[in-house]
Chains A and B, each alone.
Chain A
């Protein structure tokens, strides 16, 4: 195998090349790109998308999907906002409850999917609507603005270009990589996605693993919601509305198969870097922000096309 072929065969190499081209291109054309502030802004917008992408990646790993990530995120966002502003709960109480709500929402998704045997698409489409309904019913679309100053300050704190907000997502990424690579439930999760029948024959408790994947997905959606609230400085009921396409785009660009069993924490993270880079480039070039929507669609199509090509090549070899 030549170096070129090896690069094509590697799932994240194409993304890495695209990122390098993007960085060099932007640095050459826009003097504002490599400024400390712009790097800070970029890394800050990286945080929420990364965790949201991981939330979807976990359901994709078992061959499921979760349309309710954004709705659940919105619900958790207003729940922690309401707890801190209206009920006066301290941060240390509100955030764990918020995480628990996320995990509970995911657990409901998982149990409904497993118990009824109905396609996860329909289940999470329905629960997404229900979560959004609860969110809008409680808030009537009015955000919570008066959050504890320590919480809001964390959202804007930085060490030169490095935002403090980036610390939780990095920890999540490391834990997730460890979970999928080194723990029994993590391996079982991938085994169930790769070949459910074989996994079951090897004694893996299938339903339990699917429920676990959904629960963790909900938990990560809650982490994303907390980060989004900290980033915005207010708990907006609209948080999560634009997560759907992002949540699928990053894992799929990162080479995840919809059939399950194949996901990569590193490739997903690189895909998020690429998406953030494109968004930032659009802003710097002062292009119509609508181009982001267009390019995201094109990027997904390009990625699945490339994956397809790779699969065909692998089949020929």
Chain B
């Protein structure tokens, strides 16, 4: 089983089957190599951090780590599903905070039960994502521009409507859920994130829709010619991205016990870090769900590690930036080496 769901970018050109099998195995080895490398880096961080600060694997730290990991994973997924189509979504933070403030208003302002409010907020996230997708497909303008503009638009609308006031008198059940622990340190939020991951693996591996999303990302023209409704598929991916951004925001509400207008403003970097570290291509057509989870784990580990090492949050940004650079360059280097090897064999 490959961890990365790739699609042959050119389905029309079928090479002899004998040639295809080793090629596929090569891709599989490269991808699992990427995942093993990422897991090894995470493991090294854990060993070093634990030996330097035994408190790193205390139940308390593992619990806070599992909560922020859950949120980083879902933020990463939100970008990943759009990267699959070869687009990007810069509005994730804005959609997330819109869902957050809507949920806050429905619970505190209208007194609706948390489940109803959360469902409505998720629907709002999906609707805002749909709007992005619709605007991109209809106008034919680059998704970067559309989502850059809509990020500003959504954030502005949220601030105008909410007057940037935090909802901090939410039903106690919300914060209680955020404080729940299983087995001493596992937050239910992490279980939700893993469940979403499992659902995404099923989507991209076993459903026609998932394969169509990847096909549209790999080669939109070829996909169109093979009968994939590319426009509709792109809109669906953006809708999914919006719903996932809303989900990440709501998980943050459970963690904080409040709906704050400042949520989401620092999501841009982690949203790209997790999928890109995990081997998802910016050009579309390939996603790695497990890679995104490992990428998010690396980000969370570094953040938590700097905290327990008391390096301070100020240097965190530098570390994350340098690690992203190192990861993409390593990936590029590995690709070149693999290319050279296969050329040599011929």
Contact = CB atoms under 8 A, between A and B. Distances in A.
Interface string A54-80: 000000000001000000000000000
Max chain A C-beta neighbours (<10 A), residue from B88, B163, B322:
B322
B88 to A, nearest CB: 7
Given A130-B322, A290-B160, A116 B329 contact: yes
Contacts of A248: 145, 148
Contact of A297 (B141, B152, B313, B324): B152
Interface residues of B, number: 44
Contact of B152 (A112, A123, A245): A245
Interface string B147-175: 01111111111011001100000000000
Contacts, number: 128
A311 to B, nearest CB: 9
Contacts of B313: 136
B127 interface: no
Interface string B105-140: 000000000000000000000000000000100011
B153 A297 contact: yes
Contacts of A297: 149-156
A129 B318 contact: yes
A126 B321 contact: yes
Contacts of B146: 301, 304
A122 B148 contact: no
B313 to A, nearest CB: 8
Nearest to B157: A294
A130 B148 contact: no
B145 A118 contact: no
A252 B319 CA distance: 32
A133 B316 CA distance: 6
B317 A130 contact: yes
Contact of A290 (B164, B269, B276): B164
A63 to B, nearest CB: 11
* Chain A interface residue number, banded: 35 or more
B157 A126 contact: no
Interface in B300-346: 312-322, 324-325, 328-329, 332
B314 A133 contact: yes
A258 B144 contact: yes
A127 B318 CA distance: 8
Contacts of B321: 126-133
B320 A133 contact: yes
Max chain B C-beta neighbours (<10 A), residue from A117, A121, A130:
A130
A137 interface: yes
B149 A119 contact: no
Interface string B22-50: 00000000000000000000000000000
A133 B149 contact: no
Contacts of A133: 314-321
Contacts of B317: 129-130, 132-133, 136
B159 A136 contact: no
B267 interface: no
B278 to A, nearest CB: 13
Interface string A136-178: 1100110000000000000000000000000000000000000
A316 interface: no
Contacts of A116: 328-329, 332
B314 A140 contact: yes
B145 A300 contact: yes
A121 B88 contact: yes
A300 B313 CA distance: 34
Interface of A: 65, 112, 116-119, 121-123, 125-134, 136-137, 140-141, 245, 248, 252, 258, 288, 290-298, 300-301, 304-305, 308
List the 6 closest A-B pairs by CB distance, nearest first.
A133-B318, A294-B156, A129-B321, A297-B153, A130-B321, A297-B152
6 contacts: A140-B314, A288-B160, A290-B160, A294-B152, A297-B149, A298-B153
